[in-house]
Structures are given as structure tokens and as C-alpha cells.
């Protein structure tokens, strides 16, 4: 590419001028609720027109066009001072631009409402999940208490079984001793 038309950064002169003049494109929203809202809004032609006008009227190109327009109007003497026609045109333009500003504010309010609604739905979903987790935690706690109680019962029964086994062994030992004496007394 010709060096006269590009800067050292690879952008053409037209690209660099356009960056300051043309309205910046808004980034595509990443919030799914905003994406859906944007698609619904773009479906109406009047919304697209209002968005374009609002975007352009908020750019430096709009300012520069007006500087050139006012300069030419006054410089070429389209009308004499106090510029009644120019004043009327600018007043009408101001009325329409203020309307577009209100449209833009309504659009911003609608976006904020979409985000708030999406966040509210998420909070509600998280609340339901938390309730389910609390319910499960309570069930786990109850089961843990039951397992411990059963373990205590088994331990008591085990201790009782050991005591019974000890008594049985002692009884067996005594029985053997008695038997041995009885056999020894009968032989002697």
C-alpha cells in the first residue's frame, strides 16, 4: 500500500479520520437477556432508524457537519443577521434531537430493566437451589444422627454380648470344674 495513505500502524488515512468522525459501534452484548432484547428491538424499523439517528447525532461527525454548515450559512450570507431562518431550523433540529435523546434514554432504561429482570430470575433460581441444598443438608444431618444412634445401640449390644460371653465362659469353666470334681469324687 502507498506510504502516503497509511500510517506506521497499517491504518489508512480514511480509517484514521473515520475513527474520530463516525459514531462508534456499540459492542455486542454478552448477556443473553440483552442479546434477546437487542434482537427484539431491531425487529422494528422505527427502532433501527432511531438508533442510527441517535448514534450519528452523538458523534463528532455531527458536530463537524454543523460547524461547516453554520460557517457556510453565515460566511456565504445565505441570510442577514439575526439569522431568523437558521435559528428556526436549529430550533426544530433541537426539538427532534431532544426527542431522540429521550428515545435513547428509554432504550437505556429498557436495557437496565432487562438486566434487572434477568438478575432477579437468577436470584430466584439461586434461592430455590439454596433451599434444596438446605433440605439435603438437614436430611444428611438426620441420617448422621440415626447412624450414630444405631452405632451406639450396636456398641451397647456388643458390650452386652461380650459380658454374656464372659459369663458363659465363666459358667463353662465352673461347670468343667464341677464336672471334674464330680468325676474325681465318684472315682475316689
Instruction: Name which of 45, 57, 64 is nearest 93 in CA terms.
Output: 57
Distance CA 23, CA 95 (A): 21
Q: What is the pLDDT of residue 113?
A: 86
Q: φ and ψ at 116, to 5 degrees?
A: -60, -40
Q: What is the pLDDT of residue 1?
A: 43
Q: What is the pLDDT of residue 26?
A: 62
Reply yes or no on whether the pLDDT at 128 is more than 80. Answer: yes
Reply yes or no on whether the pLDDT at 162 is more than 90. Answer: no
Q: What is the pLDDT of residue 137?
A: 92
Mean pLDDT of 70-98: 93
Which pTM was predicted? 0.50
pLDDT cut 70: percent of the chain above it: 83
Q: What is the pLDDT of residue 135?
A: 94
pLDDT tens digits for range 14-66: 566 556 565 566 666 677 777 777 777 777 788 778 888 888 888 899 999 99
Cβ count within 10 A of residue 81: 7
Query: Which is higher by pLDDT, 103 or 186?
Result: 103
Query: In this structure, what C-alpha cell is assigned to residue 37?
Result: 432484547
Amino acid at each position: 500500500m502507498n506510504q502516503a495513505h497509511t500510517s506506521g500502524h497499517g491504518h489508512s488515512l480514511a480509517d484514521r479520520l473515520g475513527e474520530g468522525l463516525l459514531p462508534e459501534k456499540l459492542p455486542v452484548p454478552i448477556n443473553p437477556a440483552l442479546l434477546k432484547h437487542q434482537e427484539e428491538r431491531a425487529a422494528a424499523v422505527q427502532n433501527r432508524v432511531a438508533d442510527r439517528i441517535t448514534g450519528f447525532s452523538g458523534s463528532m461527525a455531527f458536530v463537524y457537519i454543523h460547524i461547516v454548515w453554520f460557517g457556510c450559512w453565515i460566511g456565504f450570507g445565505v441570510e442577514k443577521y439575526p439569522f431568523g431562518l437558521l435559528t428556526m431550523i436549529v430550533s426544530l433540529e433541537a426539538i427532534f434531537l431532544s426527542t431522540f435523546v429521550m428515545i435513547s434514554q428509554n432504550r437505556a432504561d429498557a436495557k437496565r430493566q432487562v438486566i434487572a429482570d434477568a438478575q432477579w430470575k437468577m436470584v430466584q433460581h439461586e434461592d430455590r437451589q439454596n433451599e434444596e441444598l438446605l433440605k439435603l443438608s438437614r436430611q444428611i444431618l438426620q441420617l448422621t444422627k440415626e447412624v450414630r444412634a444405631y452405632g451406639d445401640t450396636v456398641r451397647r449390644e456388643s458390650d452386652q454380648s461380650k459380658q454374656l460371653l464372659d459369663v458363659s465362659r465363666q459358667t463353662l469353666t465352673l461347670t468343667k470344674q464341677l464336672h471334674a470334681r464330680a468325676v474325681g469324687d465318684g472315682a475316689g
